[in-house]
Structure 1
Amino acid sequence: MKRLPTALLLGLLGSLSPLSGHAGQAAAGFSGEPAVKAFIVSMHEQYGFDIAHLTRQFAAIQPNATVLRAIRPPAEPAKQRSWQRYRQRFVNPRRVEGGQRFWNEHGAILQRAEAIYGVPPEIIVAIIGVETEYGQNMGSFGVLEALASLAFHYPPRADFFRGELEQFLLMARENGVSPLEIKGSYAGAIGIPQFMPSSQRRYAVDFDGDDRIDLRRSTTDAIGSVGRFLQQHGWQKGAPVAVPARLNGDPAALLAEGIKPALTVRQLEARGVVVAADDDADRPAALIDLVTPDEATEYWLGFDNFYVITRYNRSSFYAMSVFQLAEALREVRDNRLSARP
């Protein structure tokens, strides 16, 4: 079928707005914005979305000030960044106990995910624990409104969020769900494992075999999807994640190398890094600094598996919290199992 020229489509789209002027723009929600009109036309041209239907959906939402406040970085990030404060939010008795219950309830599924993807249960449990406290806090923002707010009213990352908005609309259509019904985080992350729409379409799996992927209601799908995400990003079965380190000298040059492992442990030791054991002397690693104001900085060596966790959330604080929660979960579970008669 021959498509109409873009200029004509935009003209037709404008005629769908029932009101004009400032009051009309408010009543039409997002659909009255020129950039949104162009986006709707693009979705029609690329993917065959119905213009009138999509316009009505965007008319039902409007820029969300809470989302836009939440996405902005702190006014003084250097003063507010604290590893110890961050760690206490996620590595604490409540999440450890919640993780034990989650592991007990879903142990067979976690074992199956480990067999298929090579990711140990404690890592999958820890990610879900950090992300949503085992599915308890999946977010209450309308995902369509959140992503549109960021795509069209947050210039620093507009391109990224427009891409996620596109992927979200495709995902909703594929799953036969109205995009207005889906709730998630202020950044548009969805479900028990908090996948962004592009990650859900690329990495999520139907792990419970019901012929649909549902990360909001199926814990089984969530577990399998976390395992597959990590495996697809290079998780190495049985390999270490991170080890504590000390440093002789100025860390600036090594930290400037970034968190992707590039130098071997032996090379790092030659540049002043001290680790307790050299079993992994030939394994690539990166120097990780965990800063807390008015306290000594913690240093670790992060291996490839540490870097893989940062693909989930590109923060060394996040990856270390996942790793340390996973270690605590494994230790408690092992102790309880060994104590059984």
Structure 2
Amino acid sequence: MKRKLPATLCLALLGGLLPVSGHPQQGTGFSQEPEVKSFIIEMHERYGFDVAHLTRQFAAVRPNATVLRAIRPPAVPEKQRSWQRYRERFVNSRRVDGGQRFWQQHEVTLQRAAAIYGVPPEIVVAIIGVETEYGQNMGSFGVLEALSSLAFHYPPRAEFFRSELEQFLLLARENGLSPLSIKGSYAGAIGIPQFMPSSQRRFAVDFDNDDRIDLRNSNVDAIGSVARFLQQHGWQKDAPVAVPASVNGDPAMLIAAGIKPALSVRELASQGVVPDTVLAAGDADRPAALIDLVSPGAPTGYWLGFDNFYVITRYNRSSFYAMAVFQLAEALRETRNTLAGTR
């Protein structure tokens, strides 16, 4: 690690390299902005990054209007939230067919991940299917530019994205990569499983044993990393994910309680929420949460989400997302079993 420079010298160096104005000028990108200058100094002082080198990298990127539009919720929602519409995007024949091919190609790896982390293959395949359609759509945004845009030009979540930018620069350095070379989503998610930089540094694994973690090119690393992420967030082996339910009475208070399981199935039944399927022995005492799947013009679907359902929402904090993963996983498993029975 290079010797750290005093903060005053860093400021002087930045001042000599860059105009004082906080407004980006032609050809200088983010490196003109006071917040970015401070960030560069922090990265030098905390982690030994070279000031001049980091400044040149930030000079090569500039605020991305497309990223900032994508992250903002619409001022006036064009359409009501719809589970039916959301489901059609992810639980369809194209993703089921693609998932079967992916599962067949990586069956040994998926079984190894299940043995180590306790997460069934269909759940891992479904997450990768929902995230990038099995690696086909990993994002075309420069991650440095996307994260910088959100860290310094999107105040509502600036703290979060500034932390992810820090993690991204550390990740790139650890892997000997130029931050300018890495592409991802508009929110800075990277690779086949779309891990944020902090998640990659904390949960990703070298599952193919080639002495590096590569979530952009290694399906094996992606599979192991998704399984480990879920296991580290509390996945329970062989435990249920969700079951459909019927509701008698007004479920508003139970819905407002959120998606983290708190009441047992037995307690929920006393409040008018009854599973539509016969549960395994002992599952009536499992904690669950009431999940509502709302579609305009259609009856609301109700499900009981168990701890494993909640774990999926740690990947993406949306009940629609978790249910799409679960239902795609069920479709993948059922199709695979059907195909096996016809051989």
* Structure 1 residues 313 and 24: CA distance shift in structure 2, 3 A: closer
In the TM superposition, 1:1-341 aligns within 5 A as: 3-17=4-18, 25-77=25-77, 79-276=79-276, 277-279=278-280, 280-340=283-343
Question: How many angstroms apart in 2 are the aligned matches of 1:107 and 1:37?
Answer: 48
User: 2:146–2:186: 8 Å Cα contact kept in structure 1?
Assistant: yes
Change (3 A) 1:78 1:286: farther
Which 10-residue stretch deviates more, 2-11 or 243-252? 2-11
1:130-163 alpha-carbon deviations (Å, 9 max, x no partner): 0000000000000000000000000000000000
**Aligned residue type for 1:295:** A
The one-letter code of the counterpart of 2:311 is V
- Supply the AA of the counterpart residue of 2:195: F
Question: What is the DSSP-based 3-state SS (H/G/I as helix, E as strand, rest coil) of the residue aligned with 2:238?
Answer: coil
Residues 248 and 273, structure 1, Cα contact 8 Å, conserved in 2: yes
SS of the aligned residue for 1:180 comes to helix
Say which SS state the counterpart of residue 240 (structure 1) adopts: coil
SS in 2 for 1:80: coil
* Matched letter for residue 169 of structure 1: L
> Once the two structures are superposed, what CA deviation does each residue of 1:256-290 show, in whole Å capped at 9, x if it has no partner?
21101010000000011021224421000000011
Q: Secondary structure at the match of 1:246?
A: strand
Could you tell me how far apart the structure 1 residues matched to 2:60 and 2:15 are?
16
Following TM superposition, by how much is the alpha carbon of 1:78 offset from its aligned partner in structure 2, in angstroms?
9.0
Q: Work out the CA distance in 1 between the residues paired with 2:175 and 2:68.
A: 28
* Compared CA separation, residues 166 and 23, structure 1 to 2 (3 A): closer
Helix, strand or coil for the counterpart of 2:295?
coil
CA RMSD in angstroms, aligned pairs only:
1.6
**What is the rounded CA distance, in whole Å, between the counterparts of 1:51 and 1:197 in structure 2?**
21
Distance in structure 1 (CA, Å) of the matches to 2:3 and 2:84: 60
| Equivalent pair of 1:79/1:293 in contact (CA under 8 Å) | no
Query: Helix, strand or coil: the match of 2:285?
Result: coil
Give me the whole-angstrom Cα distance separating, in 1, the residues matched to 2:337 and 2:84: 26
Does the aligned pair in 2 maintain the 1:74–1:80 contact within 8 Å?
A: no
- Further displaced range: 289-298 or 175-184: 289-298
Supply the distance in 1 between the matched residues of 2:122 and 2:264 (Cα, whole angstroms).
Answer: 26
Please list every run of 5 or more consecutive structure 1 residues that lacks an aligned counterpart in the other structure.
none
Is the contact made by 2:24 and 2:30 (CA closer than 8 Å) also made in structure 1? no
Evaluate the alpha carbon distance shift between residue 261 and residue 56 of structure 1 in structure 2; reply closer, same or farther with a 3 A threshold. Answer: same
Cα shift at 1:329: 0.2
* Residue identity in the other structure for 2:298: E
Measured in 2, the distance between the counterparts of 1:179 and 1:43 equals 14
Give distance in 1, aligned partners of 2:32 and 2:227: 41
Q: What is the TM-score of this pair, normalised by structure 2? A: 0.96
Please state how far the C-alpha of 1:250 moved relative to its aligned partner.
1.1
Offset at 1:8?
Answer: 3.6
Change (3 A) 1:21 1:27: farther
Give identity over the alignment, percent: 76
Deviations 1:275-333 (A, max 9, x none): 12244210000000111112111110000000000000000000000000000000000
Distance in 2 (alpha carbons) for counterparts of 1:16 and 1:290: 54
1:332, 1:108 → 2: CA distance?
A: 18
- CA offset at residue 129 of structure 1? 0.2
The amino acid that maps onto 2:212 is R
Segments of structure 2 that go 5 or more residues without pairing to the other structure are none
Aligned counterparts of 1:332 and 1:4: Cα–Cα separation in 2:
60
Shift of the alpha carbon at 1:3?
A: 4.8
Q: Which moved more, 1:259-268 or 1:19-28?
A: 19-28
SS of 1:238's equivalent in the other structure is coil
Encode CA deviations 1:140-199: one digit per residue, 9 max, x unaligned: 000000000000000000000000000000000000000000000000000000000000
Q: For 1:208-233, what per-residue CA distance to the aligned partner results, in whole angstroms no more than 9, with x for missing partners?
A: 00000000000000000000000000
Query: 1:278–1:122: structure 2 CA closer, same or farther, 3 Å change rule?
Result: closer
